[in-house]
Structure 1
């Protein structure tokens, strides 16, 4: 089924060009639709399509009358220069003896007026060249195997779809829309300007490079503008940049539409805007920007207008200063300046557009009967001119060759076609016997025969650039990065090249910038800022605002134990287990290691108390040793007393092992020393209690118990009781010895070095055995509390066991609930408190009597007391 567009094309084609009947003997001259055609004959004719007039008027086709000649207005000197450049390049090739020798290139140049309808009409004129009448043989004329044009992407799309029907290749010099790379829709389209895919990616990389995360986009209402914005938005979004607004400029905007567009640009918080539009479309917006005196915006231009002298005027510069963008490669083309300055409006072959240019340039009217180009409103100037005026004395966009960028693309287009034809000529010379199969006749060339050789073109031009087409008919994406800087009186704006982008290079080398050369909007060297939210510094993470783009967010300080070490991190990173975040949350520091040390004040106090207890126990032992022959010492079993003092001394020293950094030898030493010393201490107390009981029981008639509990038996009892605890400790050491651990779960910001019990069961056995000894000792001492005072120390043992049991009963909940190093402090406190309790309760009264009341330390006194 035919599409509406194709049906319209066919209808127009058959309306304008009626089918010839087979009965006609002679050729009939078809009417030329375009009278304003610049042409020159040759062996091979190249067609060129240019929007020399930037505006055109669509005509209403009523299918009853032949359509009028086209009506256009707005003579574009820049585009006219492109058309003249094509003539210059063709003439240059014709003079070149090595390229296409003995072959003369001709040309036909058309004005498309920038309208799709007129572009299609022009394409039909190219396809159906007017035939010349011949009385004796069939009519013939050189066919046009290839067309160079058009400048606009939308126009090129329409033309290419039409030319697909006739298999005619189209080589564009300025149509950069990425949609034209679709070989299913445009199989015969080629171009010498890079695809906008490259430009969109390059612009996205540029925006990301300068840290702009909040930008606006402006595009023309055509394939170039819409596709360019869509490609840029897709590319820049992948880099984490958000688009604040998307503006489409109508082709014929009203004043209200222009005001709305400028209001959006002015009121947006985005200080950077990217504009995809040709100069004719962006100019009304720029004019309104200047009219409303909108400044403070950094413009990023596409290649279509970044070097446009129509936009970069002295009046526009205050609003557009610092504009940066990608421009297609430029070149200095020798001889072109002289050729442009040598243009003559009445020269042969006659160029109707040259006449209009001459009248526009010199503001005069040429008095001649030669035809002129059709314009909507012909201008009648007040004075006439002869056509002999000097172009060298004028300066205009036409003869300004300082920024030959599109013109350089035209150079590449013409020379690429010439090289393709040259390859056909070489093939023809090598295979003269089989022209029809392998090499077509260049003098009778058909369009479809050029396509394959055009796809395989590969040469290096005089400027050192390698020219070839990829599988999509596109060249390498290569751009200059141009910055608008203030010029002098003659040149209000200078286009300074500050970098380059080349898609053929590795990704990390594609974008090259000399940032020191860039002058930003307002004449500053400081890169402008364009963000929706200020960057989150290290130590903070981004928190997205609900309903807002991803670039709009709040900054939240990272939680303890996590950091962010770069700007704009979405999530904070957890520190490793042995590290913690610093105060600013921007890097991890080793966690503070905590243990009860000798060097801290609390540890020093506990160590001093333990040493004082050991000194006290030793001092008591010295006192007892010096008075060992006194009745008080002898009456209280001096051997067990000395053994008890030794064990108490070891208990005090045992407390010191709990201070300092836990290690593989310190942890077992703590537990074993604690269990053994306290077992020895309680064994001695148990023996002393039994001695008291047995001593008084033996005084009863017929009781011989005392002979079974003499000093050897007492020592054996202490040894057996201690041996049992030693057996448990040995089993503990051999099966599940205590070991040091890093406690990272109690506190998140620091590590507690502590000793793991190894086996809770063995720890409970050791502690339970000590508890049993203490309880048994307490019961026996309690039973002996009412024996005569002088020889009875059972009541002192009872008090000491009360203190001992009270301390260790309260120790259990305190031990469990105390955090970190305070667990060790509680254990040390329990050891010292119970040791001091035994020492003071049992030995303090005796030492007081020995030292301060020696009269009571006599046998007579002891015997006389009841």
Structure 2
């Protein structure tokens, strides 16, 4: 009610003042209490200023029966007084320059906002409306304090929004030096707003990148219940999602903190597993929180400061042990020449000329000036302070007012004044007829219209103290922050050490630079951990815990054939067909190539047997050639025997083509050579069997069947049978030939280099034709097995075909069920076994007779039954 009462009273002088612009004969009448607490100096143009010199008003009950007493405040802010003095210093500096506004003098009208919306709105209206002398009855043009067409202020975003909603209808510019809420960049809602303070949008990006840099994924977020904190936290949570940062808690606490609200907040801080806390508030609200943290022994937190308190040395005096190691982004600092000497010129006599300076003097030296009215919470105590003796000096004490080591907000105030001055300078240099307004008109400097001044301000860019100051379309400066670390000096004082910076004008990956070795942490020498779950090492992936934030997860090892080569991988990556995970499953390594090699034992054994078989066949051939004229050799179709031995030698050697790394050409040679060589062998055996069978038929009276089975016909039959197999192979090779293939299907960590048959039909047709010839040969041999010749080959051929069938029938299931080099080994084994079976069954008995039983190698013995 008291705030509403103050606001309603404030609107009366505004309305009357605005009416006086149209009716100059009307008198200005000031409604309400006269407010004389201000810094004021007249000029051609008077710049307004609002600064939170006091904060935390003490609430009191109003009976509405008596006039309320002046508002009392808990805190007096010497830092804000420095901001006020910086504005005055900048105005006086500009007035002394000849290159900037040489024909125009600036003035100032500066008031205390009380860090309160109602008070700030009221005093803003007093500034833009002017203030007549009470009871003067003068017209508005003759008021004691001139109206201001522009205001420098306020510090708080919420208060700035309230002032803008009041003054926005009149297009009166407001240039803030500390209001950072991104909501103020909305030009549709706040068209008359500009600032020298970067938007929170950039501060939030910097804070999120800072948290991400140290891999803090589980952080607490708290803030005062104000527009500034609400918008900032909303942006922080949204930006955090990009980097998978989760809030352990989000808590807003009231501006006026009662004990129960403080205890509730500290209990949240105490019970949470998050060790990093980001706080969006001012220094006054944080004071009560830190006091309760100390009482409950909550001393483990790593604080991340918003720019509102990132450089506040006041908090260090009482809570240095809790705030050591704090990190926060602060706006860029600057050294303003001669400002320090200007601030220190205040003495007892100067302090008595201003209510603000008097209160500052009393608060600093705990003494009482004659005639002062201290509105501080200690006002009653101040009455008991001893009188000031006049020997007090700012050189003897430390006060934030005279501390110019961290001129950040003060520099923003300085730039705000220069922004307005440069805009006025541009207006003064405008050439009539070439102006930016209708019909080429220029803005008037003698009756300044705020909307015209705002036009020039938005398009002004200038250089001050070596920095080029520019503004974007929203009236925001290009963001640049220093990363500050709170460190304890050797004398126990706070040392704000610059440990990095953030520059929004740089590229995304290089906009944040941190000098990590310089950082002093709250506890220990390393950055603290703040995680909901421990990081998943390479070789595993994150599996989100049901019902919990994304930062809370379990670590699951990657599945077979997958890797993760980064910490905290969300998914495992599948290795390519040519690679396989190593034992740690953090990288893909080339798979082992598997094929039947000449160097391995199995390959050597098969190679040895192949060579031995070929040599054995050649040895038998040599024996047959040497004893070709003997009855045993001549009586068993010598020419076909010679051919059979050559083809058996070839079959043994064909086995060698299955050993070694397959290539396309080797695969295209391997299978046709295998099929044709065995076809030649079986064709020869079939021809020998038919000849034996027909020879017995030829002994019957009147039979002339042998004329159809002479040597030429035998050779022709072998060639014909082989040509059929050759035709099958040609069709196979021309349609879908065998190729070398890298098979990863069956053995995960191994690539099987094999010969893919290409056409399965072609492969089984080759085997099937060999089987068909073998069946025909077996049938013929079986029919001729009991013929009366002493050395009848039909018996041996029958046994050889039985072995042949046993080998290849066994081969089929084993071949189909085998993989890799063992499949090839089975194939080679089948070739060798069947070839040895033919060689031994057919030729071993003859060699036995020829070499060991020569007495049986005669015609008489052969004819014996």
Q: CA deviation digits over 1:92-135, x for unaligned, max 9?
A: 23333333334333322222222212222222322443335778
Counterpart residue number, 1:483: 485
SS at structure 1 position matched to 2:124? helix
Q: CA deviation digits over 1:299-338, x for unaligned, max 9?
A: 111111111011123x522222111111111112222222
Mapping of 1:765-804 within 5 angstroms?
A: 765-804=765-804
Q: Which moved more, 1:63-72 or 1:251-260?
A: 63-72
Q: CA deviation digits over 1:414-473, x for unaligned, max 9?
A: 2222222333333389999x9998345434434344222222222101x11122332222
Counterpart residue number, 1:111: 112
SS at structure 2 position matched to 1:509? coil
Contact 2:56/2:284 (<8 A) preserved = no
Contact 1:344/1:354 (<8 A) preserved = no
Unaligned segments of structure 2, at least 5 residues? none
Mapping of 1:375-386 within 5 angstroms?
A: 377-378=379-380, 379-386=382-389
Number of aligned residue pairs: 855
> TM-score if structure 1 supplies the norm length?
0.92
The structure-2 alpha-carbon separation of the partners of 1:428 and 1:41, relative to structure 1 and needing over 3 Å to count, comes to farther
The structure-2 alpha-carbon separation of the partners of 1:7 and 1:667, relative to structure 1 and needing over 3 Å to count, comes to farther
In 2, Cα distance between the equivalents of 1:359 and 1:365? 6
Verify: 1:223 aligned to 2:223, yes or no: no
> Which of 469, 472, 475 is the equivalent residue of 1:470?
472
Q: CA deviation digits over 1:454-509, x for unaligned, max 9?
A: 22222101x111223322222121111111112132x6110011222222333333
The structure-2 alpha-carbon separation of the partners of 1:812 and 1:227, relative to structure 1 and needing over 3 Å to count, comes to same
Counterpart residue number, 1:389: 392
Counterpart residue number, 2:535: 535
Contact 1:811/1:826 (<8 A) preserved = yes
> TM-score if structure 2 supplies the norm length?
0.92
SS at structure 2 position matched to 1:512? strand
Counterpart residue number, 1:509: 510
In 1, Cα distance between the equivalents of 2:290 and 2:312? 12
Q: Which moved more, 1:473-482 or 1:715-724?
A: 715-724
In 1, Cα distance between the equivalents of 2:544 and 2:433? 69
Counterpart residue number, 2:291: 287
Counterpart residue number, 1:722: 722
Verify: 1:76 aligned to 2:77, yes or no: yes
Contact 1:652/1:832 (<8 A) preserved = yes
In 2, Cα distance between the equivalents of 1:16 and 1:59? 28
The structure-2 alpha-carbon separation of the partners of 1:145 and 1:63, relative to structure 1 and needing over 3 Å to count, comes to farther
SS at structure 1 position matched to 2:497? strand
Verify: 1:425 aligned to 2:425, yes or no: no
Counterpart residue number, 2:861: 861
Contact 2:563/2:572 (<8 A) preserved = yes
Q: CA deviation digits over 1:231-286, x for unaligned, max 9?
A: 11211222221111112122222223223322222332222221111111111112
Verify: 1:445 aligned to 2:463, yes or no: no
In 2, Cα distance between the equivalents of 1:730 and 1:422? 97
SS at structure 2 position matched to 1:476? coil
Verify: 1:342 aligned to 2:345, yes or no: yes
Contact 2:180/2:200 (<8 A) preserved = yes
The structure-2 alpha-carbon separation of the partners of 1:726 and 1:160, relative to structure 1 and needing over 3 Å to count, comes to closer
Q: Which moved more, 1:698-707 or 1:219-228?
A: 698-707
The structure-2 alpha-carbon separation of the partners of 1:634 and 1:30, relative to structure 1 and needing over 3 Å to count, comes to closer
Counterpart residue number, 2:834: 834
In 1, Cα distance between the equivalents of 2:24 and 2:734? 121
**Following TM superposition, by how much is the alpha carbon of 1:751 offset from its aligned partner in structure 2, in angstroms?**
2.3
Contact 1:27/1:131 (<8 A) preserved = no
SS at structure 2 position matched to 1:330? coil
> Which of 132, 141, 148 is the equivalent residue of 1:144?
148
SS at structure 1 position matched to 2:221? strand
**Following TM superposition, by how much is the alpha carbon of 1:623 offset from its aligned partner in structure 2, in angstroms?**
2.6
Q: For the aligned residues, what is the CA RMSD?
A: 3.1
Counterpart residue number, 1:13: 11
In 1, Cα distance between the equivalents of 2:438 and 2:704? 144
The structure-2 alpha-carbon separation of the partners of 1:638 and 1:134, relative to structure 1 and needing over 3 Å to count, comes to closer
Verify: 1:180 aligned to 2:178, yes or no: no
In 2, Cα distance between the equivalents of 1:184 and 1:243? 32
Counterpart residue number, 1:580: 580
Contact 1:686/1:777 (<8 A) preserved = yes
> Which of 293, 304, 311 is the equivalent residue of 2:308?
304
**Following TM superposition, by how much is the alpha carbon of 1:137 offset from its aligned partner in structure 2, in angstroms?**
7.5
Unaligned segments of structure 1, at least 5 residues? none
Contact 1:428/1:441 (<8 A) preserved = no
Contact 1:597/1:659 (<8 A) preserved = yes
The structure-2 alpha-carbon separation of the partners of 1:89 and 1:813, relative to structure 1 and needing over 3 Å to count, comes to same
Verify: 1:157 aligned to 2:161, yes or no: yes
The structure-2 alpha-carbon separation of the partners of 1:787 and 1:298, relative to structure 1 and needing over 3 Å to count, comes to same
